[in-house]
Amino acid sequence: MLLGCKSKTDKTEETRLPRIAIAGIGIESSTFSPAQTHEEAFHARIGDSIFSRYPFFNAGTAIRKRAEWVPTLLGKSLPGGIVTREAYESMVKKTLKMLKENGPYDGLFFDLHGAMSVVGLQDAEGNLIKRVREVIGTDVLISTSMDLHGNVTKTLAEHSDLITCYRMAPHEDALESKARAITNMLDRLESGKGKPKFKAWVPVPILLPGEKTSTRIEPGKSLYAKIPAIEQLEGVIDAAIWMGYPWADEARNHGVVVVTGDDKEQVTKAAENLAKAYWDVRKEFEFVAPVATLDESLQLALASEATPYIISDMGDNPTAGGAGDVTWTLRELLNRPEFKSETGPSLIYASIPGPELIAAALKVGLGGKVSAMAGAQVDDRFAPPLKLEGTVTAIREGDRDAKVEVVVKIGSISVIVTDKRKPYHQEADFTDLDLNPRESDIVVVKIGYLVPELYEMRGDWIMALTPGGVDQDLERLGYENIKRPMFPLDKDMKDPDLSARLIKSSNQLN
């Protein structure tokens, strides 16, 4: 079968555009949450509808014109619990079928997150890329693009010819990273250079929560700032640092550095330098904002003049893989005397899933009184479902994630209740519900570090160490499968072997 770009040797194909497939399944999923993720959560796009996920693929853009694109399946889910085997196999089957039917290819843009846990698998992305290789062959250039909170096993590195990840957390450079993965691949195919000659992979035994490794502050900032200069070196194509994902209990969960290029010595040296730089600053990573118990956080917020005082309800952050329906924090808030009266300090709570309450609210309508249960359908380990009794002040239908959103006013607290879980990250998420977070005294949101819009809005901010599937106190999680020793769980561990492992390409494996 004809595979790969033959333009170097075959004169008749000299001017043809490379044929590049697009595929990917992405999620960050916690094995410490009782939640499970099903296929519909991935909102899988098939064929041309995939282009609209990437502004750089709009008709007429430079990237779009450089290849004949073959979009297959792209599934992207909000973070959640472990993916069911049925959901995974179903999406893999569809992907492989489309890849098989539409080949051959010169390249594949493989768009992953990298922290997908699947029932029965220890390296889901490694399993996926191996199966993709079996279909498209080993000559095709695969360029893998990931989140820096993903994990890179040797298998994933072997089958990826180019592999990179974001360089910013929060991920303001997500699209830029994907575009880089694509242009690096296009450059290799157009120049006829093909696969990079060398890939240096260095596992770094560090496992930290994202809330400690933001690139907005040190030492993450300076560590990632080393990358652009490395990328400029002769013989180096790309360099990437993965922080790894701490809320899954798999042997692959740890930091990794990968550098790709054609100059063996530069690639090796660059990877080892980056890995050592990462190891050397390991003890300097701290939470990106003050951290306290919920009680302490509320005392600070109530005493503060700054508004809105944002409190991160961290332990159940759905965007890190929490179930998003833990009621522990909301129960504490509703029990506080300060918020019992309507004239108390205004507080917005975002958010709690509660289909029963949604149904009741739709029945009584805007301004009506409701009394129904909400929360703890998935994760009831820390508190049971809560009865919410109050006035319906907003109803909104049609959100992609939440389906239906309702605001219930209980004392001075406005509780956002959703049909399905949804992260509240944008100002519009609140204003669409007639809530004004800027004028609220306190905003409590299920999130870890604040995304840029909330960060800019904050009067002040504290991260509350609340319980849930993405508990920030990693010692409480009870790992069984991750490699040991691992920093910071094994605080006094010896310096690890940070020499670069040169990884063979898939076409050199047998």
Residue ranges binding Zn ion (CB under 5 A): 147, 149
Torsion angles phi and psi, residue 26, rounded to 5: -135, 130
Which is nearer to Zn ion, 353 or 448 (by Cβ)?
448
Which is nearer to Zn ion, 149 or 212 (by Cβ)?
149
Question: Which contiguous run of DSSP H or E holds residue 302?
Answer: helix 294-303
Q: How far is the CB of 170 from Zn ion (least distance, A)?
A: 8
Which is nearer to Zn ion, 114 or 354 (by Cβ)?
114
Q: How far is the CB of 52 from Zn ion (least distance, A)?
A: 22
Distance CA 442, CA 447 (A): 15
Which is nearer to Zn ion, 31 or 307 (by Cβ)?
31
Q: How far is the CB of 139 from Zn ion (least distance, A)?
A: 32
- The residues facing 165 across adjacent strands are 146
Q: How far is the CB of 318 from Zn ion (least distance, A)?
A: 13
Which is nearer to Zn ion, 72 or 213 (by Cβ)?
213
Residue nearest to Zn ion (CB): 149
114 CB contacts (<8 Å, ≥6 apart)? 26, 125, 146, 147, 149, 150, 151, 152, 156, 165, 242, 245
Amino acid at 31: T
Which is nearer to Zn ion, 67 or 445 (by Cβ)?
445
Q: How far is the CB of 149 from Zn ion (least distance, A)?
A: 4
Torsion angles phi and psi, residue 390, rounded to 5: -175, -165
Question: Which contiguous run of DSSP H or E holds residue 211?
Answer: none
Q: Could you tell me where the DSSP H helices lie in 341-481? A: 355-364, 427-431, 452-457
Tokens of 191: 């120049």
Which is nearer to Zn ion, 437 or 469 (by Cβ)?
469
Which is nearer to Zn ion, 125 or 147 (by Cβ)?
147
Q: How far is the CB of 309 from Zn ion (least distance, A)?
A: 26
Which residue has tokens 């306290």? 292
Across the beta sheet with 198-204, the strand order is 236-242, 255-261, 198-204, 501-502
Do β-strands 501-502 and 460-464 pair in parallel, antiparallel, or remain unpaired? unpaired
Beta-strand ranges (E) seen in 29-150 are 29-30, 36-37, 45-46, 68-76, 80-83, 107-111, 141-146
Q: How far is the CB of 130 from Zn ion (least distance, A)?
A: 24
Q: How far is the CB of 233 from Zn ion (least distance, A)?
A: 27
- The helix/strand/coil state of 283 is helix
Burial of 130 per CB tally in 10 Å (0-12, 13-18, 19+): middle
Rg (CA), the chain: 24
Q: How far is the CB of 451 from Zn ion (least distance, A)?
A: 11
If we measure between CA atoms, which residue out of 21, 311, 254, 212 comes closest to residue 123?
254
Which is nearer to Zn ion, 147 or 173 (by Cβ)?
147
